[in-house]
Amino acid sequence: MLRSCKQEGKCCCRQCCDKPATDIAGLLKSKNEECLKQGTTRQCVILVDYGSSWRDHRRFALMTLRNFGLGKQSMEERIYGELSYVIAELDQSVGKSMSPQTMFHNAASNIICTVLFGARYEYNDEALKIFIKLYTENAKITNGPWAMVYDTFPMVRSWPLPFQRAFENAAIAQKMSMDLINHHKKTRIPGQPRDFIDCYLDEMDKRGEDGSTFVEPQLMMYILDLHFAGTDTTSNTLLTAFLYLSTHPDIQEKCYQEIEEVLEDKDQACFEDRHRMPYTQAVVHESQRIANTVPLSVFHCTTKDTELLGYHIPKGTLIVPNLGSAMREEGQWKFPHEFNPSNFLNEQGEFEKPEAFMPFSVGPRVCLGEGLARMELFLIMVTLLRRFKFAWPEDAGDPDFTPVFGVTLTPKPYSMTVTLRRTE
């Protein structure tokens, strides 16, 4: 079975995730989940098993995100509002080397914060710094060696070992989340929602106390889920993109030329402009492919007996969608092991997306924020590549493209030099 999956990575991964919705949409209840229970209340969406609660909350999230501009011009305005702060920070670094790690995390976090909390944070704000620190630390800790020790030897979970830091971080994040909810409860006007939290509180009022799963503990974990996912994945993809672009000046220059040709006298791009920028579109997608930010997606399990590629898979079997394998599979990509936009261009130079491209997963548990992430990546990359030129510092030595492993993959810290292309 393993050999078959390796040989047919794209086919297996897509067939697996595209099975009928209830076949593999479950989440395995295991020792690992018991370990996680000590760090969270287990109410959330990403790590909740398939069922009526999951369906209700996913439907609610999709509707609410659309109401707050997902896929619309109003969301573009939110992104450009945050981009102005990114540009200001880069303007201060012109002619110098700078590290983009914190900048991209701050920007991605603020964009999703405007939807969830109705507010943005200054880049030196302590709350923003704490949220990002908690997320980045736990992303590494929970997929490190101590996580395996805790999973294998349950008796050590109460010992003061390094993994306790993950539980402490989770508790701090939950308190900050509850503080935001309590502030909204005091300042909201029912029926006039300002953001995601207000919408959820309105939904709680509408449903009443009838056994509904729309409750405050669920909201607390929900906004942490969405905040983490909307911050970490987008920022790490941007970090990967600019790492490769700063070391591939020819690709960066081709993007710039296409952007200038298409936009001409326009002040800024809109998301629809992507259809007239095949090369830039290819670069954005190639950055996602190479970043491989969530290589193993979210673990699934079968909710009933099923079959895949002729193999019988019993109910309750752990399913690990190896997205990373699919996105670097020989035979599915022209250049599977190198950064090359040609992976997304046909012979006529037109943008073409192979089936093996699935950074947001596929099937009923596909990433909730796919639309927002795609818009962010395109608008941010186009705007920054049009205004600035990025290069690998001459005194930095050879770049190290090996990622740091965790729940998500992230590039190792690096610096890049910034040169101004245009001032308007």
pLDDT for res 3: 39
Supply the CATH number for residue 242's domain. 1.10.630.10
Please give the full DSSP string across 144-184, using - where no structure is assigned: SHHHHHHHH-GGGTTS--TTHHHHHHHHHHHHHHHHHHHHH
Has residue 66 got a pLDDT over 50?
Answer: yes
Measured CA to CA in angstroms, residue 278 lies from 258, 274, 284, 368 at distances of 9, 7, 10, 25
**pLDDT above 90 for 92:** yes
Return the closest-CA partner of residue 419 out of 246, 243, 239, 248.
246
Phi, psi of 419, rounded to the nearest 5 degrees: -125, 140
Using one digit for the tens of pLDDT, what is the confidence trace for 125-138? 999 999 999 999 88
> Which residues make beta-bridge pairs with 97?
417
42: confidence class by pLDDT, cuts 50, 70, 90: very low
The confidence score (pLDDT) of residue 1 equals 39
**Tell me, what's the pLDDT at 282?**
98
Report the pLDDT value the prediction gives residue 418, as an integer from 0 to 100. Answer: 98
> Coil, strand or helix: which one is 313?
strand
Q: Which tokens hold the place of 354?
A: 């192979």
- 156 or 98, which is more confident? 98
Residue 7: per-residue pLDDT: 47
Task: Identify the helix (H) or strand (E) that includes residue 416.
Answer: strand 416-420
**Distance (Å, whole) CA 228 – CA 139:** 9
Distance CA 167, CA 28 (A): 21
Which tokens belong to 383? Answer: 């705007």
The per-residue pLDDT for 47 is: 54
- pLDDT over 70, % of the chain: 87
| Selection from 5, 22, 44 nearest residue 321 by Cα | 5
How high is the pLDDT of residue 394?
A: 92
Model confidence over 162-218: pLDDT tens digits?
Answer: 778 888 999 999 999 999 999 999 999 999 999 999 999 999 999 887 767 899 999
Mean pLDDT of 62-85: 89
Average pLDDT score, the chain: 86
Q: pTM of the prediction?
A: 0.88
| Region of poorest pLDDT, from 16-25, 355-364, 400-409 | 16-25
Q: What is the reported pLDDT for 70? A: 75
Number of domains in the chain: 1
pLDDT at 173: 94
Banded pLDDT at 102 (limits 50, 70, 90): very high
> What per-residue confidence (pLDDT) applies to 212?
78
Least Cα distance to 84 among 268, 294, 243 occurs for 268
- Predicted pLDDT at 35: 37
pLDDT tens for each residue of 283-320: 999 999 999 998 888 777 788 888 888 889 998 888 88
Is residue 113 part of an annotated ligand binding site? no
pLDDT at 374 over 60: yes
pLDDT beyond 60 at 9: no
Domain around 14: 2-420
For the segment 237-277, what is each residue's pLDDT rounded down to a tens digit? 999 999 999 999 999 999 999 999 999 989 999 999 999 99
Quick check: 214 and 203 in contact, CB under 8 A? yes
Buried-state track 330-367, b at ≥16 Cβ within 10 A, e below 16? eebbeeeeebbbebbbeeeeebeebebbbbbbbbbbeb
The reported pLDDT for the residue numbered 358 is 93
Coil, helix or strand at residue 312: strand
